[in-house]
Amino acid sequence: MTDACLMATSVPAGEVRTPAVPAVPADGRTEARSSAAASGKVVALEGLRGLASFCVVLHHLACALFPALIFGIGSASDHGWDRWLHDQPLLGVVFQGNFMVCTFFVLSGYVLGYKYIHTGQRSYLWSGLARRYPRLMLPAVASCVLAWAVLTLGLFRNVPAAKLTGSSMWLASWWTFPGNLLDAVHDGAVSAFTNGPVLYNSALWTMWNELLGSLLVYATLILVPRRSWRWGAYVVLAGLTATGYLLAFVAGMAFCELMASAAGPEVRRVLARGWWVALALIGLYLGGIPIPDTGMARAYGRLFALPASSIHVWVGLHIVGAAAVVLAVLGSPLLQAGLSKRPMRWLGRTSFGLYLVHMVVIGTVASGLMVWLVPRAPYEVAALIAVLATLVVSLAGAELFTRWVDAPTLALTSRTYRLVRSRLHPQAQATARP
């Protein structure tokens, strides 16, 4: 599998769970925006994260069952409609996993510095910095241990399923080795965060970028406390990160800074007049660009006729598209209302769990159903049943994972940080108590 194919089949993690804070910028100037409005923006972004996570599941299902939809001319399977959909500039965007990855990273850049940018309290930065690795690592390890248990029990059916679906370059490549618990733990705790190979849960490759991006956000805000200076820092960082995923974190930080500044209300008013529609369409158009070596549709061919065309250009265009979509949401009351609905909030709350468990579900439920149904029913019927079953089981698994792993991890890291801080700075801790 090419690096481009690998990058298109994974999703990063993070959470958009920032509570409402007073809308007061770090330089002390007052804002003409209420904390309730600021909280609403974050709730909408949580819904956007949940929607993107759901689309990642659809992307991986397409990789497994209709590989021509993702890999185009490089696929061994072609049902006609899937190859056609691969070439459509807007219709195929929901299956572009790399675009969803970039959306997650922009959201992380916006949210991780949200409390500090609105309050100026540096304690939020130190707390987030200290807790970030264990907050990501513990659920990652749990997901790898889950995959190890399933592998040890012999429940994966992805290899025989790949022979039926034609996904030899993707589905057939996972879980083809003997299970080892220590290796699974190492994958989740070390390999995922050092850009190493992750065999038990391939989606964890994004943890390397998520951790680096998080450190970049916290370091920037700690080292450059003045808002006027930070705009210069964002310009410099954008130049330094222009060829990689870290650019998405810089964009997210800049958006958060902009919306918290004195210009924020005017920016929202301009976008709300209808410019958010143009931004959303541009973002979705760029987000639908398929993997470069899978064949370009006419709608995208000119973009990749540039001399600098490469995988980095593809990633950069997806980041620009993701940034446009996030900015459209920040400026559209209509999109905010839709993404703040209860189902979307639930999807956002469980998005990390969905991201971590759905690969195992595809390797067992979807693959097992395909092996059993394809000899007995038309392929499209078998695939539809497998997709629906996978979505149901993945969403249920995401809720359980959130309750049993993700939420306890958040509580544990918070308690541990407070305990360590109270031991190191007992006087400051006592002063902080009401």
Distances from the Cα of 59 to the Cα of 52, 112, 271, 300, 323, angstroms: 10, 26, 30, 20, 20
Give residue 309's pLDDT: 58
pLDDT of amino acid 18: 43
Q: CA of 136: how far to CAs of 113, 152, 228, 349, 405, in Å?
A: 17, 25, 32, 15, 11
From the CB of residue 396, how many other CB atoms can be counted at a distance below 10 Å? 13
Q: How many CB atoms neighbour CB 51 within 10 A?
A: 19
Query: Along the 434 residues of the chain, how does pLDDT read in single tens digits?
Result: 444 344 434 444 444 444 333 333 344 444 434 444 444 458 999 999 999 999 999 999 999 999 989 987 656 677 888 888 888 888 889 999 999 999 999 999 999 999 999 999 999 999 999 999 999 999 999 999 999 999 999 999 999 999 999 999 899 999 999 999 999 999 999 999 999 999 999 999 999 999 999 999 999 999 999 999 999 999 999 999 998 999 999 999 999 999 999 999 999 999 999 999 999 999 999 999 888 766 666 677 777 666 555 788 889 999 999 999 999 999 999 999 999 999 999 999 999 999 999 999 999 999 999 999 999 999 999 999 999 999 999 999 999 999 999 999 999 999 999 999 988 877 655 544 44
Q: Which of 368, 344, 369, 360 is nearest to 394 (CA)?
A: 360
Note the maximum CA span of the chain: 71
The CA-based angle 151-157-163, given to 5 degrees, is 135
> Cβ atoms within 10 A of the Cβ of 372, count?
15
Cα–Cα distance for residue pair 387/63, rounded to 1 Å = 12
SS3 category, 245: coil
Give the chain's length: 434
Q: Which pLDDT does position 74 carry in this prediction? A: 59
The region, left, alpha or beta by phi > 0 then psi within -120 to 50, assigned to residue 13 is beta
Q: How confident is the model at residue 76, as a pLDDT?
A: 64
* Total domains, the chain: 1
Range of the domain at 209: 3-432
pLDDT recorded at residue 93: 94
